[in-house]
Amino acid sequence: MTKSYKWFLIVMLSCAFFFHQADRALFGILTIPIQDELKLSDVQIGWINTTLSWTLAAMTVVAGFLGDRLSRKWIITLSLIAWSLMTVCMGFIGGFFGALFFRSIATGVGESFYAPSAYALIAVHHKETRSVALSIHQAALYVGLMVSGLVVAWLLGFLGTWRNVFIAFGVAGCLLGIAFIWALKDGAAGTSGAAVKDAPSRDHSISQSLRAYFCNPSALCATAGFVAIVFVNNAYLFWAPKFMAMKFQAAYEAALNVKAATPEGMKAIVGAAGSQTMLWHHLFAFAAIMLGGVATDHFVKRMPRFRLGFQVVALLCGAPMLLWIGFAPSIVSVLVAACAYGVFRGFFEVNTHASLFDVVPPEHRSTAVGLLNMIAFFFGGLSGVAMGALSQRWGVRGFEIGFAIMAGAYFIGALLMAFSFFFTFRRDVIRE
Q: What is the dihedral of CA 133, 10, 62, 142, to 10 degrees?
A: 70
Grouping H, G, I as helix, E, B as strand and the rest as coil, residue 93 is coil
- The whole domain housing 310 covers 8-187+214-428
Name the nearest CA neighbour of 355 among 157, 221, 197. 221
Q: How far apart are CA 229 and CA 237, in angstroms?
A: 12
Total structural domains within the chain:
1
Residue 196 lies in a domain: no
Q: How far apart are CA 102 and CA 34, in angstroms?
A: 14
Residue 209 lies in a domain: no
Query: Residue 173: how many CA atoms within 13 Å on its side-chain side?
Result: 33
pLDDT at position 199: 52
Q: How far apart are CA 355 and CA 420, in angstroms?
A: 11
Residue 389 lies in a domain: yes
pLDDT at position 188: 44
- pLDDT, tens digit, for every residue of 394-409? 999 999 999 999 999 9
Residue 282 lies in a domain: yes
Q: What is the 3-state secondary structure (H, E, C) of 314-382?
A: HHHHHHHHHHHHHHCCCHHHHHHHHHHHHHHHHHHHCCHHHHHHHHCCHHHHHHHHHHHHHHHHHHHCH
The whole-number mean pLDDT for each consecutive block of 10 residues of the chain, a chain of 432 residues, reads 79 90 83 90 90 91 87 93 96 94 94 90 79 81 76 82 92 94 69 43 73 95 96 91 92 90 82 84 87 84 90 97 96 96 93 90 85 90 90 94 97 97 94 68
Q: How far apart are CA 56 and CA 107, in angstroms?
A: 9
Q: How far apart are CA 58 and CA 74, in angstroms?
A: 20
Name the nearest CA neighbour of 373 among 275, 230, 260. 230
pLDDT at position 432: 61
Residue 306 lies in a domain: yes
Answer whether 367's CB lies under 8 Å from 119's CB: no
Q: How would you label 349-379 residue by residue, b for 16+ Cβ within 10 Å and e otherwise?
A: bbbbbbbbbbbbbbbbbbbbbbbbbbbbbbb
Helix or strand run (H / E) with residue 288 = helix 263-299
Residue 203 lies in a domain: no
What Å distances lie between residue 345 and 6, 32, 51, 117, 369, CA to CA?
Answer: 26, 26, 24, 23, 19
Q: How far apart are CA 256 and CA 265, in angstroms?
A: 8
Q: How far apart are CA 324 and CA 338, in angstroms?
A: 8
Q: How far apart are CA 273 and CA 334, in angstroms?
A: 11
Name the nearest CA neighbour of 289 among 417, 77, 144. 144
pLDDT at position 190: 38
Residue 242 lies in a domain: yes
φ, ψ (nearest 5 deg) of residue 290: -70, -45
Query: Residue 226: how many CA atoms within 13 Å on its side-chain side?
Result: 26
Residue 93 lies in a domain: yes
Q: How would you label 127-149 residue by residue, b for 16+ Cβ within 10 Å and e otherwise?
A: eebbbbbbbbbbbbbbbbbbbbb
φ, ψ (nearest 5 deg) of residue 54: -70, -35
CATH number (domain holding residue 270) = 1.20.1250.20
Name the nearest CA neighbour of 392 among 44, 34, 43. 43
Name the nearest CA neighbour of 63 among 200, 183, 181. 200
Answer whether 86's CB lies under 8 Å from 106's CB: yes
